[in-house]
Structure 1
Amino acid sequence: MEINEILVIAMFLSFIALLFTGIPVAYVLGGIGVIFALVGYLSDIYLGTLTGLDFTTLGLVVNRLFKIMDNWILVALPMFIFMGNMLDKSGVAEQLMESLQELFGKVRGGLAITVTVIGIILAASTGIIGASVVLLAMMSLPSMQKQGYSLPLALGTIASAGTLGILIPPSIMLVIMADQLGLSVGDLFMGAVFPGLILGGLYIAYILITGFINPEAAPVPKDVQPVTMNTVIKVLKAITPTVLLIFVVLGSIFAGIATPTEAAGVGAFGATLLAIYNRKYNFKVLKEVLHGTYNTTAYIFAIFIGATCFALVLRELGGDELIESFLTGLPFGDYGIVAFILLIIFLLGFFLDWIEITLIILPLLAPVISALGLDINGYGVVDNPELVWFVMLVAMALQTSFLTPPVGFALFYLKGVCPPEVKLTQIYRGVIPFILLQLAALVMLVFWPQLVTWLPAFAYG
């Protein structure tokens, strides 16, 4: 084994080991990059090896960082984050919960269905996982416990519905993926519409089936009022402002009227108007929203910097060629290699956040997918249809990372706002069926790529 291959493997092992020390991920990534650049440099000097690493390698990081900060697509990130945080403060979700609960009141499992529907709407308007999970839990968990819902079902519904924002556009994960692979943000946003809705539909179907098979797990409240025209009008009144905002943001991108960055600015302004309209806007709210936006944006861009250093050293060592030769040499066939890659990403999701996987692993895998003989029908319209399809598979697999222990962030967001008597093991039990539903949706995308490519092809065709 050559020295470069040893260093590549050592980099990955060091990264995984240091994750468990509690050191911030951005420092781990950047530190490993610097250390192994120095190791390669000293190895060349004292051992006569040819790693190709020196201090010029680290100097290239400055150029890479300039390109990142000069990227107009990434300006959309803080705007979408601001939009999500402001909507969470605007009181829209509370209005939706009250009106939809009246609409689905007589349906067995109606409250859980309400949580899922609100999760879909929040996903298409916020995309902030932590805020969505916390908000849904605080609004719905006391009511679900009061109605006698099975605690695992209630917890699993809240956690899974809150994570839909990572997939359903406008998703900040899809913005970063598009930037990393040079794909159209509009293609990825449109490609994610059907997968996101299918996943939400599977959640609702599971809740209905569970309520039918085990009525005690999802009981119907006794004091439900019949649905009237006033109920329907109340639902429309609550849902229309948010749906209109989603339509303006996504519709302007899909129609080519605005770039994702411009649409994100419109969304941030629209969310602020909704907060003003609902009389939730004040200086304290603005301060909290800005503070949350700064924190999330700084966290993402710190990992950007660390991942840039890590990835540059890895590529200088030939890590991308090593991974490509390993994967293409597997005796599984083209779709077998795709399945193997998705399995690895699914397992990595147990330990890594989606940001690290998106910034480090995804760019290394893209050349492998492009080199395979996959015949993904993009209808002659979608650029790089095989990559758009593969990115959606990765996005679906990464969504499970929010629900899988031990680093499933949605689980800890939920535990943080649950009553003390709710145990983490009960949350684990609740999310297992929803993880299986996510994997079922992933299999559907593998067998029917048109679920991803049809909408962008139709829109642009």
Structure 2
Amino acid sequence: MEFYFLALLILIMAAALGSGYPVAFALPGAAIITIGLAAGAGYIFAGSTDAYFHSGGPNQWLSAGVTNLRGVYWEVERDTLIAIPLFIFMGIMLQRSKIAEDLLVAMAQLFGPVPGGLGISVVFVGALLAATTGIVGATVVAMGLISLPAMLRNKYSPSLATGTIAASGTLGQIIPPSIVLIILADQLASATDQASTARKALHKEATGELSMPSVFDVASTSAGEMFLGAFIPGLLLVGLYMAYILVFAILRPKLAPAVPYEGKYDTTFVKTMLITLVPPLALIFLVLGSIIAGVATVNQAGAIGAAGAMIMAGYRLPKAGKSLYYPALLAIAALTMIGFVLANFDMNVKSIQDSTDMLGIILGAIAVVMLLVALVWSCWRVMNIEDTLAGVMLETAKTTSLVFIILLGAAMLTAAFRAFGGEELVKEFLLSLPGGFWMQFFIVMLVIFILGFFLDFIEIAVVVVPIVAPILLADPEANITAVWLGVMIGLNIQTSFLTPPFGFALFYLRGVAPAIVKTVQMYKGVIAFISLQIAALVIVGLYPPLVNYLPNRVSFLSESSPPPRNPKLQLCLEDYVGQQLAQSTATRDAISAARAMDLSVLPKDLAGDLTDGFDAADTALVELDSAFASADEVSAAADAYRPQQKVVRAIEKKVRRAEAHAKELSTTISRMRDESQASARAALEAEVAVLQAEIEHLKSEIPASWAEVNGTFQKLTKAENTARTKYRRAADAAYEAPQAVLAVLDANDDFAAMEQQLRDMKATIMTVPEKEAEGLVNDLAKAFGKIEGAGDVKKALGKARKALKAKTPDRDKAMAAYDDAVAAYEAQLGWRASADSALRSGLTVYVDGISDTLGVRQQPRFTREQALEMASCTSYHRDISLNF
């Protein structure tokens, strides 16, 4: 029965949406009505309101929906949604201030003489508006009103003109900052948690191990990473649009002719171009650049964008005059001053130490006041000119409310979908498909593409993504990243604005297009651009670094970059070390030179540790070669192992599903104790017997050779893992031992400076009262304990302290221990000086020689070159299914 109510849920939602009922109420309404009907039917026909639910009951699932509603607003970790109204405000402000109109006119003058130049200018402006506004409807309407008449007047093909405008207007969905990317990031954040749990369960079932190595875990994503990941695919889409228009214009020049500029390319033209282009580009740089550089979060970048849009509107809306640009110039001066003080002063108020620090704080405060004055000044202008500010605020509130209400309604719908087993049904369907992950991914992308014919991007993002994303992210075969999946879904969702019959960009454009342009021509015009979007989807799907590289690069180059010892980076790190060793003999030369050093000047323990370190370096090289050889053996055996593994894992999945179903039925049977339920109990028992027989039959289908084949392959993977573990330990020891000796030598001056205090301690022990002397000796011991290599002196002083602290203080015993400390100190003075002159340079050369290879794990952070290598390596998806 659950299936029928699931179908009813979808039918009610589709009927409500098809009738034009508001989406914000259709989603939760369908959920509440269906849950209510299921509860009523269960009470009437089965005597229990819980009867027709997959699990739980109506109260539980309504509560789950309410919990989801609360989570949107009250979960601290979901503060990314705050960025939505900020970016909406920025976009609407730029639209109302006619900056979009200025951009279109300027670009048409600049690109007009090029074949298809008007179309290229529309794409260029669409990309700029996408990076500043991200609001499809406003962008399409603005460009339709301004550029469509000009394109038709210059004999452009109506299909090409309308297709270009509609497609360019949708770029705001994929080029950051984008509302859909923020929503996707929010949905994927919870999806990765579910995927991580599912993958851990899968690993436990496949291997029997209680814990899964962190290298196999699913990494989450954020709005900032989504923005970075979508940046290059967005530019790729812009490039495809421009290339198509240019080729079309060259092949059919009559349908996309060049339009010569009638004015002069003089100083006035250059000035107009600069005033028109520089401010929007500067705003894009501030918003996206602050995110990419790690200076600002997405929320903070949204605030920057809103403030920048306000200042730009402050000089665009008023009439020309002497004071027109004063607020903007004041803001530029303030930002320049802020940048100067941040670069040259410590701006922490709590750490003010002198007049220089105070000067920096004062200058920073003045700059902030100047910026606030510029913002208030611009705000006053915008508020008093045609009541623009009130209109922008009202539109922002309306659009933001729409987005959030749909989010809330989708939370209710998702709860109802899960209540009737929809999530399990989708999961079973996808997992049962032949072809593994890529078939599942293709089906999901196809479904999203088809839904785009009927639904808006928000409905797709908040209804479909929470259901399918955990399944795709949990699959170890492709081991995709959440940011890549989010960008792929974003590119796919973008087509929903162009695909008939409900392509919203087409509706927006139809509303402002002249009657001479037929609707059929508009539909014909977007076909090519839909094809280009699909082409971009395929390109990004086949080459994941287009998405993954930029977020990884920013992460590895940031101040909070993951350390080289991060478990998830070790495979890439070892590949990097292997490449460095193959390209240069510097590491081996450093080891050979270190072997030639005379270590006799060191104490036996330090000399032994150093020798062990050099031995570990040789061991590390051998074990790394062994690891690579074992990896090659695993790769060679994988081709024969993988087909049988897939067959067995598929059978095991069926067995688990059958066992789970049998367990559920057994639980139901155990609760049916009334005699009136005897016939129903007997039917369920028969069904359990059938399931048990099916389970035994499935187990019999597992090849008899599987245990041997699996055991052999596991031995190969274990050999590789063992070799890698031995390499890591040896490499760490090879770097740590000489570093420890160098740390001792670096402490020579501090050690020598302690001589007088040690000499003076003799009189203290002999004459000062025992309790007071014990404290002074303890302080001296602690001081020696802070000096590298002075442990023997500290140990002897510790014995002296114990003799003084005993119930019966023994000064003679304390003096004997003190004499041992002096002897140890004098011995160290001798070998420290000799070792410093004989070994320091050689050890430094050795450490420098292996720091980029064997010692890289011991570095506090990656060098720039290493960080870029890690970013590149981790940008590819690594198949880890053989470990499951």
Does the pair score TM above 0.5? yes
Query: 2:476 aligns to what?
Result: 373
Alignment TM-score, normalising by the size of structure 1: 0.94
The answer to whether the 8 A contact 1:324-1:367 is kept is: no
The answer to whether the 8 A contact 2:111-2:117 is kept is: yes
Which amino acid counterpart does residue 174 of structure 1 have in structure 2?
L
**1:235/1:311 Cα in 2 relative to 1: closer, same or farther (>3 Å)?**
same
**1:326/1:412 Cα in 2 relative to 1: closer, same or farther (>3 Å)?**
same
- Per-residue deviation, 1:412: 0.5
Residue of structure 1 aligned with 2:438, choices 335, 340, 344: 335
Query: 2:121 aligns to what?
Result: 114
- Per-residue deviation, 1:13: 2.8
Query: 1:192 aligns to what?
Result: 230
In the aligned structure 2, how far is the partner of 1:135 from the partner of 1:326? 44
**Greater mean deviation of Cα atoms: 91-100 or 289-298:** 91-100
Alignment TM-score, normalising by the size of structure 2: 0.50
- Per-residue deviation, 1:375: 3.6
Query: 1:457 aligns to what?
Result: 552
In the aligned structure 1, how far is the partner of 2:36 from the partner of 2:126? 47
The answer to whether the 8 A contact 1:105-1:224 is kept is: no
User: Residues 90-101 of structure 1 correspond to what in structure 2 (within 5 A)?
Assistant: 90-101=97-108
Residue of structure 1 aligned with 2:407, choices 304, 307, 319: 304
Query: 2:150 aligns to what?
Result: 143
In the aligned structure 2, how far is the partner of 1:35 from the partner of 1:53? 14
Query: 2:92 aligns to what?
Result: 85
- Per-residue deviation, 1:331: 1.0
In the aligned structure 1, how far is the partner of 2:146 from the partner of 2:106? 13
In the aligned structure 2, how far is the partner of 1:106 from the partner of 1:374? 51
Query: 2:65 aligns to what?
Result: 61
Query: 1:175 aligns to what?
Result: 182
In the aligned structure 2, how far is the partner of 1:212 from the partner of 1:57? 60
**1:34/1:223 Cα in 2 relative to 1: closer, same or farther (>3 Å)?**
closer
Matched, 1:279 2:277: no
Which amino acid counterpart does residue 152 of structure 1 have in structure 2?
S
In the aligned structure 1, how far is the partner of 2:474 from the partner of 2:287? 35
Residue of structure 2 aligned with 1:244, choices 272, 282, 286: 282
Which amino acid counterpart does residue 89 of structure 1 have in structure 2?
R
Query: 1:23 aligns to what?
Result: 21
Residue of structure 1 aligned with 2:527, choices 419, 432, 449: 432
Query: 1:447 aligns to what?
Result: 542
Unaligned 5+ segments in structure 2 are: 190-220, 319-381, 557-884
RMSD: 1.7
- Per-residue deviation, 1:121: 0.2
Matched, 1:163 2:167: no
In the aligned structure 2, how far is the partner of 1:417 from the partner of 1:50? 50
Which amino acid counterpart does residue 43 of structure 1 have in structure 2?
A
Secondary structure, in 3 states, of the residue corresponding to 2:21?
Answer: coil
Query: 2:253 aligns to what?
Result: 215
- Per-residue deviation, 1:404: 0.5
- The one-character-per-residue Cα deviations of 1:25-52 (angstroms, maximum 9, x if unpaired) are 1221111111111122223322332513
Residue of structure 2 aligned with 1:363, choices 451, 456, 466: 466
Secondary structure, in 3 states, of the residue corresponding to 1:80?
Answer: helix
In the aligned structure 2, how far is the partner of 1:120 from the partner of 1:81? 16
**1:101/1:223 Cα in 2 relative to 1: closer, same or farther (>3 Å)?**
closer
Which amino acid counterpart does residue 153 of structure 2 have in structure 1?
K
Secondary structure, in 3 states, of the residue corresponding to 1:124?
Answer: helix
Residue of structure 1 aligned with 2:396, choices 261, 272, 293: 293
In the aligned structure 1, how far is the partner of 2:284 from the partner of 2:470? 34
Residue of structure 2 aligned with 1:8, choices 6, 9, 12: 6
Secondary structure, in 3 states, of the residue corresponding to 1:169?
Answer: coil
How many pairs are equivalent? 451
In the aligned structure 1, how far is the partner of 2:420 from the partner of 2:91? 40
In the aligned structure 2, how far is the partner of 1:155 from the partner of 1:428? 9
- The one-character-per-residue Cα deviations of 1:330-364 (angstroms, maximum 9, x if unpaired) are 11322122111111110010011111110110010
Matched, 1:400 2:495: yes
User: Residues 319-330 of structure 1 correspond to what in structure 2 (within 5 A)?
Assistant: 319-330=422-433
The answer to whether the 8 A contact 1:40-1:53 is kept is: no
In the aligned structure 2, how far is the partner of 1:160 from the partner of 1:231? 29
The answer to whether the 8 A contact 1:375-1:386 is kept is: no
Query: 1:201 aligns to what?
Result: 239
Which amino acid counterpart does residue 58 of structure 2 have in structure 1?
D
Which amino acid counterpart does residue 140 of structure 2 have in structure 1?
V
Query: 1:345 aligns to what?
Result: 448
The answer to whether the 8 A contact 2:113-2:260 is kept is: no
- Per-residue deviation, 1:458: 1.1
Higher relative contact order (CA 8 A, sep 6+): 1
Residue of structure 2 aligned with 1:415, choices 478, 498, 510: 510
The answer to whether the 8 A contact 1:195-1:445 is kept is: yes
- Per-residue deviation, 1:232: 4.8
Query: 2:697 aligns to what?
Result: none
In the aligned structure 1, how far is the partner of 2:188 from the partner of 2:425? 19
The answer to whether the 8 A contact 1:211-1:218 is kept is: yes
State the percentage of identical aligned residues: 42
Higher Cα Rg, which structure = 2
- Per-residue deviation, 1:152: 0.7
- Per-residue deviation, 1:374: 3.9
- Per-residue deviation, 1:283: 5.0
**Greater mean deviation of Cα atoms: 87-96 or 51-60:** 51-60
In the aligned structure 2, how far is the partner of 1:273 from the partner of 1:10? 52
Secondary structure, in 3 states, of the residue corresponding to 1:135?
Answer: helix
The answer to whether the 8 A contact 1:334-1:372 is kept is: yes
- Per-residue deviation, 1:113: 0.7
The answer to whether the 8 A contact 1:102-1:227 is kept is: no
In the aligned structure 1, how far is the partner of 2:109 from the partner of 2:31? 55
In the aligned structure 2, how far is the partner of 1:323 from the partner of 1:107? 51
In the aligned structure 1, how far is the partner of 2:12 from the partner of 2:429? 20
- The one-character-per-residue Cα deviations of 1:223-257 (angstroms, maximum 9, x if unpaired) are 54575676455433321111111111122222332
The answer to whether the 8 A contact 2:112-2:260 is kept is: no
Query: 1:235 aligns to what?
Result: 273
- Per-residue deviation, 1:302: 1.8
Query: 1:37 aligns to what?
Result: 35
In the aligned structure 1, how far is the partner of 2:140 from the partner of 2:472? 34
Q: What stretches of structure 1 move > 6 A for 4+ residues in a row? A: none
**Greater mean deviation of Cα atoms: 58-67 or 328-337:** 58-67
The answer to whether the 8 A contact 2:163-2:525 is kept is: yes
- The one-character-per-residue Cα deviations of 1:245-283 (angstroms, maximum 9, x if unpaired) are 111112222233222122212211110110002135325
In the aligned structure 2, how far is the partner of 1:172 from the partner of 1:393? 15
- The one-character-per-residue Cα deviations of 1:275-305 (angstroms, maximum 9, x if unpaired) are 0021353252112211211221121122122
**1:418/1:251 Cα in 2 relative to 1: closer, same or farther (>3 Å)?**
same
In the aligned structure 2, how far is the partner of 1:111 from the partner of 1:421? 19
In the aligned structure 2, how far is the partner of 1:274 from the partner of 1:374? 49
In the aligned structure 2, how far is the partner of 1:226 from the partner of 1:452? 42
The answer to whether the 8 A contact 1:116-1:158 is kept is: yes
Query: 2:291 aligns to what?
Result: 253
In the aligned structure 2, how far is the partner of 1:255 from the partner of 1:74? 21
In the aligned structure 2, how far is the partner of 1:209 from the partner of 1:416? 29
The answer to whether the 8 A contact 1:103-1:231 is kept is: no
In the aligned structure 1, how far is the partner of 2:265 from the partner of 2:235? 25
**Greater mean deviation of Cα atoms: 261-270 or 205-214:** 261-270
In the aligned structure 1, how far is the partner of 2:541 from the partner of 2:103? 34
Which amino acid counterpart does residue 292 of structure 1 have in structure 2?
E
